[in-house]
Amino acid sequence: MRSRSTSAAYLRQAGDLAGNPAQQAAYVSEGHCVVLAGPGSGKTKTLVLKLARMLAEDVRAPQGVACITYSQECARELRRRLERLGLRDAPNLYVGTVHGFCLRHILMPYARLAGLALPRPLTLATTRQADGTFKRVAEELLGLGQPYKTHDMGKYRRVHLDRDAPDWREDADLARLCEVYEAGLRRQGLIDFDDMVVCGNRLVGDHDWVLPAISARWPILAVDEYQDLGLPLHRIVMRLAFEGGVRLFAVGDADQSVYGFAGSDGELLLGLAEREDVETVRLELNYRSGARIIEASEYALGEVRGYRPHDTERLATIQFVERPGGLEAQAAYVVETLIPEALAAKEGRVLGDIAILYRAADVGDVFAEAIAAADMDYIRIDNAAPYKKGEVTSWIEDCAAWCSGGWRRGRPQLRGLISRWIGFRSGRPNEREANAARRALTIFLTQARRDGGLAAPFIAAIREILVDPLGRTEPSLADQMEQVRRMNEAVAAGGKLEGLELESLGGRDGSPSHVNLLTLHSSKGCEYDVVIMVGMDLGTMPWANEKEAELRESRRLFYVGLTRARDAVHLLYSGWVKTRFGVRTLGRSPFVEELEMRLLDADRIR
């Protein structure tokens, strides 16, 4: 049973939804519900309050609510919002990624009973192990010049789920590569990330007895960013919801489906929303962006969605900036002009309110170098980042935030850190083990509190005392432990983050004193006062010679970038790009060209 303070917290905030009929409809829904939520429409607030209500009113422990999402960063934000309501990860509340849910709540409890040919215990391959196995197998089967990459194989496995169907051999070489790669992993006693959802789908799809077992534990399933989940998870959800009796609450936006290369498909969300046994709610009021940005985003998307601003008086600007000197000239303009102007334009604005968005990590290299040379701090989230964000690395960052002053503010909450720490274990620990884990973490964090100091000693200590011993007993954390090692290397002498302060480690997700450098893909779910989109040239946005489906996805990615902004968007381009074949002068992005023309036409009409 929830405490009075928890109930009062969510009920107080739920009262705010009354002014928005669509949000209120989602909040009071009782059956299957799909929320189609435009950018800045308050979907996370709606989801979090709905989770709090369902947990307080619709289930009783040990039954619970599971909320799954595509990325670790989305899961992290949901946890933070829930903590503010007094809720946290608990035995009857799961908040995490799709892969984490499939591993811990489908495969681990039921794979052995179902007779799936998976290793025991379930041991997750590290990135290095998976890549090494793929390289070896691909060269053995197809030679040194083989044309496939790991993402080609991954998408094929996630899209072609029925291996008895004729289309499994649609690409005979790729199908064979998948089979031999998987066999190679199994010989090493390993599974990979795709195995989690592919095998989870196979287990749920082929074994009817699993449905009541899962629904008894998780009678309610909430899915955030549904458009990103792809076919295997969609089939799991459909089976659980419409054949297994699990109640579904799904939130998403098909216009922000930008992971087609990984097998995601926004049409799956739209199809779900059209079912007669599903209540569909559309959130169209934008609380984030000024009217000019909302207007520009619909022009960029190329379709009218009817989104409108909550604050009709809020000013916003779109600027088109040509810098013929290439990315280096764009970076110089950002550092010398745009960032100082953005900081001066609004009282209290800080570097953390500014984001620089780009298509590819090599573009980020140019801007990271320029910002560092200007003696500004930055946070970087892309493939060139020194370590990947995972459950354990994000937890260590949050522990650093608590130790560097967060304990005074109660953010993050100590009990939330403890719940996540205990949740890393594959089995449910008994009370004695759980108490020992709570005590060890509490003692460590209390002794590690400090004002100032470097991150390196903190990471070394938390690894030695807590994380590394757990990793040695939990095979499912193998890839997570690899990222922890990379984090350690990054802050050590000679690493990319040498000299990083403990407070900065705790703020590596939204620090107010750091400029944000992100790929457009990584920016999903984020919001900033000022967005600077760089490298907006044909050949990058979109790539040259994209096919129709790829071009539509690039347009959606452009739309995602625009809709991150509250007050201002700056679109920078040079008219040419560097390629491995030399410089190609292709002009600025056609998305930028079209957007400026449509805005000018609209201004003339007004």
- pLDDT 10s digits, 191-205: 998 999 999 999 999
Q: Is 43 annotated as a binding residue?
A: yes
Residue 407, pLDDT > 90, answer no
Q: Is 423 annotated as a binding residue?
A: no
The whole-number pLDDT of residue 289 equals: 95
Residue 288, pLDDT > 90, answer yes
Confidence of residue 2 (pLDDT cuts 50, 70, 90): very low
3-state DSSP helix/strand/coil % of the chain, to nearest 5:
55, 15, 30
93 exposure class (CB count in 10 Å sphere: 0-12, 13-18, 19+)? buried
Q: Is 496 annotated as a binding residue?
A: no
The whole-number pLDDT of residue 508 equals: 56
Residue 522, pLDDT > 90, answer no
3 dihedral zone (left: phi>0; alpha: psi -120 to 50; beta): beta
Instruction: Annotate 300-332 with b (16+ C-beta within 10 A) or e (fewer).
Output: bbeeebebebeeeebebebebbbbeebbeebbb
Confidence of residue 478 (pLDDT cuts 50, 70, 90): confident
The whole-number pLDDT of residue 8 equals: 65
The whole-number pLDDT of residue 195 equals: 93
Residue 279, pLDDT > 50, answer yes
Q: Is 38 annotated as a binding residue?
A: yes
pLDDT above 70 as % of the chain = 97
- CB 125, CB 154: distance < 8 Å: no
Residue 511, pLDDT > 70, answer no
Average pLDDT of every residue of the chain: 90
Q: Is 37 annotated as a binding residue?
A: yes
Residue 510, pLDDT > 50, answer yes
CATH 3.50.50.60 is the classification of domain 291-384+510-605: no
Q: Which residue has the higher pLDDT, 606 or 433?
A: 433
Q: Where in the chain is the domain with CATH 3.40.50.300?
A: 6-108+200-283, 291-384+510-605
CA dihedral in degrees (109, 110, 111, 114; nearest 10)? Answer: 160
Q: Is 215 annotated as a binding residue?
A: no
The whole-number pLDDT of residue 501 equals: 85
pTM: 0.87
DSSP 3-state of 223 = strand
Distance between CA 467 and CA 386 in Å, rounded? 19
**Radius of gyration for the chain, computed over Cα atoms and rounded to the nearest angstrom:** 24
For residue 343, the tally of other CB atoms under 10 A from its CB is 17
Sheet holding 378-381, edge to edge: 317-322, 565-573, 528-533, 354-358, 515-519, 378-381
The whole-number pLDDT of residue 555 equals: 96
Domain 6-108+200-283: top CATH class: alpha beta
Distance between CA 343 and CA 282 in Å, rounded? 35
The whole-number pLDDT of residue 124 equals: 87
- CB 177, CB 169: distance < 8 Å: no
